[in-house]
């Protein structure tokens, strides 16, 4: 049965939700205060991962905590005052650093990523933007044998979930990526992971398909969500609209929308930064790569060579702190020759993270017709189409294509 549905949030998760619902025959309105794909979804390494299965809160994190507390890592920085204010959330997050949860989460994430990758490929072909797609894999680099040894838990998680990968030695790395300085002892290439050369253009292509088929995009700031009998009333900066069903997919701002209806969702956020540099006069990279010990990613993009920082734990709306990305750019220049900076200033985004590092994808516990689709941490691009498929199947009363139980909202006392 065709329904009138609102999707609140224009990041890649919201865009995919709107597109999939529209293709299933529903009348869909996507609402966001900005052009879709220009907030959190804009700044990432462009990886369409099938292999990012080990959550951050795993047993290895507990062993690394003493070193991380020094707050000098490029891979993770934090504001001590913010962490003190959020200690209950931090302790709950750390409580999931168990082997059993890591295994549970890895299985769930792998299923959602594989589902998403297949649908990304289909939509990319349908949208006629195959020039954005890379099949060269996703590589993690290790400067020392000790660093590679610390990757053992992730290798185990990938093996247990069926991820295909190849380990390369120093000379093989030089042949694979001659544009990198020969400083790496080991590399792990995720063989079936893909990438895109512009996440923003990919989002634009999906939006174009959505609009061409009758979808509506409303650029407005949502300010209220009120249940009606039946349906919901969505108030935004330009007026009020009525819908039968509502999907909340507003990334780190989803917690605010949920609070309007009495939900206390244990959502935090990982802030991250990126900067584009002009390519240098050396062979360019064939794929995105993550320097594990350096704590940064480097990826060839249409805008230039994109350097992304690690995680920053800070208030969602605090002013940017460019210390971390400046250090990442300096480190990246040591391993790959690049010219000047393209961007006037670094970009910053906020990635929504729940205390167990799994997204919420499914019905809100206390409101019929309200759906949650958020909390994808830094893997929104890699899990958006699969999450959309789950939401659509539930709204249509069908059987989800994968086990959706790990993503239930009621796994928390919300």
* SS3 of the chain: CCCEEEEECCCHHHHHHHHHHHHCCCEEEEEECCCCCCCHHHCCCCEECCCCCCCCCCHHHHHHHHHHCCCCCCCEEECHHHHHHCHHHHHHHHHCCCHHHHHHHHHHHHHHHHHHHHHHHHHHHHCCCHHHEECCCEEEEECCHHHHHCCHHHHHHHHHHCCCEEEEEHHHHHHHCCCCCCCCCEEEEECCCEEECCHHHHHHHHHHHHHHCCCEEEECCEEEEEECCCCEEEEECCEEEEECEEEECCHHHHHHHHHHCCCCCCEEEEEEEEEEEEECCCCCCCCEEEECCCCEEEEEECCEEEEECCEEECCCCCCCCCHHHHHHHHHHHHHCCEEEECCCCCEEEEEEEECCCCCEEEECCCCCCEEEEECEHHHHHHHHHHHHHHHHHHHCCCCCCCCCHHHCHHHCCC
| Model pLDDT for residues 244-269, shown as the tens digit of each residue | 999 999 999 999 999 999 999 999 99
pTM of the model: 0.95
- Please, which pLDDT band fits residue 1 given cuts at 50, 70 and 90? confident
pLDDT confidence of residue 147: 94
What pLDDT, on a 0 to 100 scale, did the predictor assign at position 68? 85
Q: Looking at residue 137, what is its pLDDT?
A: 86
State both tokens at 369. Answer: 């017709």
Average pLDDT, integer, range 156-175 = 97
pLDDT in tens, 116-131: 999 999 999 999 999 9
Inform me whether the pLDDT recorded for 187 exceeds 90.
yes
Percent of the chain at pLDDT exceeding 70 = 100
Average pLDDT, integer, range 78-101 = 95
CA distance 292 to 153: 14
Q: What is the mean pLDDT of residues 171-178?
A: 96
Q: What is the pLDDT of residue 363?
A: 98
- Mean pLDDT to the nearest integer, 151-155: 96
Share the mean pLDDT of the chain.
Answer: 95
Task: Please give the average per-residue pLDDT across 66-74, as a whole number.
Answer: 83
pLDDT digits (tens, 9 = 90+) for 133-148: 999 989 999 999 999 9
Q: pLDDT confidence of 36, banded at 50, 70, 90? A: confident
Residue 366 confidence (pLDDT)? 95
Find out whether 340 and 234 touch, Cβ atoms under 8 Å.
no
What pLDDT is attached to residue 235? 95
Q: What is the pLDDT of residue 3?
A: 95
Structure confidence at residue 159 (pLDDT): 98
Q: Average of pLDDT values for 21-27?
A: 97
How confident is the model over 358-376, as a mean pLDDT? Answer: 97
Output the pLDDT for position 25.
96
In this structure, the number of other CB atoms found within 10 A of the CB of residue 304 comes to 18
Q: Is the dihedral of CA 200, 201, 205, 208 positive or negative?
A: positive
Mean pLDDT of 399-413: 96
Residue 75 has pLDDT above 90, yes or no: no
pLDDT at 354: 97
Q: Is the pLDDT of residue 38 over 90?
A: no
Q: What is the pLDDT of residue 39?
A: 81
**pLDDT for residue 237 is more than 90:** no
pLDDT of residue 382: 97
Q: Which pLDDT tens digit goes with each residue over 188-207? A: 999 999 999 999 999 999 99
Q: What is the pLDDT of residues 302-355, one digit of tens each?
A: 999 999 998 999 999 999 999 999 999 999 999 999 999 999 999 999 999 999
Residues 204-229 have pLDDT tens digits of: 999 999 999 999 999 999 999 999 98
pLDDT > 90: percent of the chain: 91
284 backbone dihedrals φ, ψ, rounded to 5°: -85, 155
| pLDDT tops 90 at residue 67 | no
Q: Phi, psi at residue 276, to the nearest 5°? A: -100, 140
Query: First CA to last CA across the chain, in angstroms?
Result: 30
Contact assessment for residue 411 and residue 119, using Cβ atoms and an 8 Å cutoff:
no
């Amino acid at each position: 049965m065709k329904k009138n549905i609102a999707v609140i949030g224009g990041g890649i998760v919201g865009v995919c939700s709107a597109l999939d619902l529209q293709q299933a025959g529903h009348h869909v309105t996507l609402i966001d205060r900005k052009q879709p794909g220009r907030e959190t979804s804009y700044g990432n390494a462009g990886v369409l991962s099938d292999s990012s299965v080990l959550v951050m809160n795993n047993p290895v994190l507990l062993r690394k905590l003493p070193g991380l507390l020094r707050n000098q890592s490029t891979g993770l920085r934090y504001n001590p005052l913010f962490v003190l204010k959020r200690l209950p959330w931090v302790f709950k997050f750390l409580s999931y650093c168990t082997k059993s949860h890591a295994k549970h989460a890895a299985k769930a994430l792998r299923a959602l990523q594989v589902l998403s990758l297949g649908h990304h490929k289909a939509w990319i072909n349908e949208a006629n933007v195959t020039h954005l797609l890379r099949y060269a894999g996703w590589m993690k680099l290790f400067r020392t044998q000790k660093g590679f040894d610390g990757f053992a838990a992730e290798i185990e998680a990938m093996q247990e979930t069926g991820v295909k990968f190849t380990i390369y030695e120093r000379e093989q790395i030089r042949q694979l990526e001659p544009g990198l300085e020969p400083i790496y002892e080991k590399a792990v290439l995720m063989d079936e992971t893909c990438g895109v050369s512009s996440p923003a253009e990919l989002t634009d292509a999906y939006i174009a398909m959505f609009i061409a088929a009758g979808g509506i995009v409303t650029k407005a700031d949502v300010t209220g969500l009120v249940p009606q009998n039946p349906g919901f009333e969505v108030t935004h900066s330009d007026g009020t609209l009525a819908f039968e069903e509502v999907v909340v997919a507003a990334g780190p701002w989803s917690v605010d929308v949920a609070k309007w209806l009495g939900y206390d969702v244990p959502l935090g956020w990982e802030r991250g930064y990126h900067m584009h540099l002009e390519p240098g006069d050396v062979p360019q990279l064939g794929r995105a790569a993550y320097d594990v010990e350096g704590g940064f990613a480097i990826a060839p993009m249409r805008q230039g060579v994109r350097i992304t920082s690690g995680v920053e734990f800070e208030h969602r709306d605090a002013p940017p702190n460019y210390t971390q990305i400046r250090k990442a750019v300096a480190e990246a220049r040591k391993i790959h020759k690049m010219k000047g900076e393209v961007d006037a200033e670094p970009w910053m985004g906020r990635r929504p993270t729940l205390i167990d590092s799994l997204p919420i994808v499914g019905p809100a516990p206390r409101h019929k017709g309200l759906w949650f689709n958020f909390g994808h941490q830094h893997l929104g691009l890699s899990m958006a189409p699969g999450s959309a498929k789950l939401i659509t199947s539930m709204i249509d009363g069908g059987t989800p294509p994968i086990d959706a139980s790990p993503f239930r909202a009621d796994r928390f006392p919300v």
